[in-house]
Amino acid sequence: MSTTENLVARGRELAAGAGALAAVVAVGATLFAAPAQAAPGPLKPYGVVTAKAGLSERQYPSTDSSVRGYLRHRSQVGLVCKVRTQNVRGNSVWYLTRSERPAWVSAKYVTNSGFVKYCKDVQHHRVQPSNPAKHAVG
């Protein structure tokens, strides 16, 4: 075999090896590629009612406000934001619930799942009540 023939044969072997290596790399990349998933959004906070007798949902963050609904012991409720207003047994925080009809609950009887923003840091239209008081003065 001449030198030229040796070089041609060796070149074919190298090309075949490089092709096989490229195929292995392509298959490996396919096998180990993570499936495309949407990035998870921020988790929305929720609370769990701790009052044994349940908890009233109020139109405004005050015990003087009208009752809009009732939450049973250990029920979960989505939380939008919080404010500091009327003190209920040593706790002045109230949560705005995330539901069809937003209402307020005292934080004294709700254990939250994580960080809840203050209402001043949340979009204004999420905090306004859907039905303003009919006889509001001022």
User: For 42-84, what is each residue's pLDDT tens digit?
Assistant: 678 999 999 999 999 999 999 999 999 999 999 999 999 999 9
In the predicted structure, residue 34 carries a pLDDT above the cut 60: no
pTM: 0.61
Q: How far is CA 129 from CA 47, 61, 71, 96, 111, in A?
A: 20, 11, 19, 10, 23
Helix (H) or strand (E) holding 20: helix 3-32
C-alpha–C-alpha distance, residues 53 and 136, integer Å: 32
Rounded distance, CA 110 to CA 104, Å? 11
46-127: CATH, from 1.10.10.10, 2.30.30.40, 3.40.50.2000, 1.10.1740.10? 2.30.30.40
Please say if the pLDDT value at position 128 is more than 60. Answer: no
Domains in the chain: boundaries: 46-127
- How far from 7 is each of 3, 13, 20, 119, CA to CA, in Å? 6, 10, 20, 77
Query: Bigger pLDDT: 133 or 10?
Result: 10
Residues 4, 9, 10, 12, CA torsion sign: positive
Element (DSSP H or E) covering residue 32: helix 3-32
